[in-house]
Structure 1
């Protein structure tokens, strides 16, 4: 779980310049060591966008704005998944449960992300792990309904 300010600090330590502007067609963009975030987004949206743009910084090469190109789409997915792990990793989900969060709304609030972003992260984990994932005596059920609980062996 990362707060927007923590992501900004991380970017700064990497030598990345992050600026907020009034973007009309995008939420964010990464070009080299510069990231632009739409200043009209909520703090939670900015947190989601900045994590993905940091994923682009770490993982993608070149201009991938043409999403009709399969290679560009693959790079987009890689950056998105990097962001999910950064903002809503498996251990973050468990920490939200430990903090008393029961619903997706509560978990998203705890993680400082949008509920839509949390749902996308859950979809990713479902595709990666299947119906459930067990770690450190906790079960995360993805199918049929998302829920987290203590594992009893």
Structure 2
């Protein structure tokens, strides 16, 4: 099962429809419990679109399509951030480190997400944990520019 299929299975109370009439500038839209998806998206685009629309389902209320309104822009950013962290967890970043990834694009490729999604998740973690998080024997240093350093401790205290 690919990432998109896993997300759809996890949120199976939603209906997912590929809509050929979706405008080119819009990859997805949720109305009620139906997520409309633009066909022809790459696997990484589709995963990002589905996760963002699920995040809208979980957090947004009403029509927020008018991005000239500050509240709507804030809701859009929130959904994009939540969607990104659905796809990239701290454990995923540790997995990238253990796999020998040394750049954002290598991590994104390893996790089968876009570089933008990877950076959005890292930026969110940087804000949430003020730049630093410790998991097991690893210390993750999140930078506001979307990059991350991973330090592995060999001390098992």
TM-score of the pair, normalised by structure 1: 0.85
Instruction: Indicate the RMSD between aligned Cα atoms, in angstroms.
Output: 2.1
Q: C-alpha deviations, 1:96-145, integer Å up to 9, x for none?
A: 32333332222212222101211122222222223332222211122385
Corresponding residue of 1:150? 152
The answer to whether the 8 Å contact 1:134/1:151 transfers is no
* 1:47-126 equivalent positions in 2, closer than 5 A: 47-126=47-126
Distance in 2 between residues matched to 1:66 and 1:72, nearest whole Å = 7
Q: How many residues align?
A: 150
Unaligned runs of 5+ in 2: none
Corresponding residue of 1:4? 4
The answer to whether the 8 Å contact 2:51/2:86 transfers is yes
Unaligned runs of 5+ in 1: none
Q: C-alpha deviations, 1:35-61, integer Å up to 9, x for none?
A: 112212100110011001000111111
TM-score of the pair, normalised by structure 2: 0.83
Corresponding residue of 2:16? 18
Higher relative contact order (CA 8 A, sep 6+): 1
Partner SS for 1:45: helix
Q: C-alpha deviations, 1:22-75, integer Å up to 9, x for none?
A: 332201111111111221210011001100100011111110111222222222
Distance in 1 between residues matched to 2:135 and 2:29, nearest whole Å = 34
Distance in 2 between residues matched to 1:25 and 1:77, nearest whole Å = 17
